[in-house]
Amino acid sequence: MQSVPALEWHLYQQMYLIRRTEETLLDLFSQGLLFGTVHTCIGQEAIAVGVVNAIDKSKDVIWSNHRGHGHFLAYCDNIEGLIAEVMGKETGVCRGIGGSQHLHYNNFYTNGILGGTVACAVGSAMAEKKKNSGAITVVFLGDGAMGEGIVYESLNMASLWKLPVLFVLEHNQYAQTTPTSLAHTGDLSNRPKAFGIETREIKADNVISVNRLAQECVHKVRTQQKPLFITMHTYRFAPHSKGDDVRPAAEIETAKRSDPLTHMRWALAQINERRVASIENEVDMRIIEAVETVKQQLVLAPEMFFAGRQP
**Residues at the site binding another protein, with contacts judged by CB under 8 A:** 61, 63, 94-95, 97-98, 102-104, 109, 111-113, 116, 118-128, 130-131, 137, 149-150, 153-154, 156-157, 160-161, 300, 308-311
- The answer to whether 241 and 25 are in contact (CB under 8 A) is no
Nearest distance in Å: CB 146, another protein: 15
Which CB atom, from 131 or from 257, has the smaller least distance to another protein? 131
- Give the nearest distance from C-beta 57 to another protein in angstroms: 16
In whole angstroms, the minimum distance from the beta carbon of 171 to another protein comes to 22
For residue 286, how many other CB atoms are within 10 A of its CB?
Answer: 16
Q: Closest distance between another protein and the C-beta of residue 263, in Å? A: 36
Nearer to another protein, 9 or 105 (CB): 105
Our CB check for another protein shows the closer of 119 and 283 to be 119
CB of 149 to another protein, least distance (A): 7
When the beta carbons of 150 and 183 are compared against another protein, the nearer one is 150
Query: Quick one: 9 or 161, whose CB is closer to another protein?
Result: 161
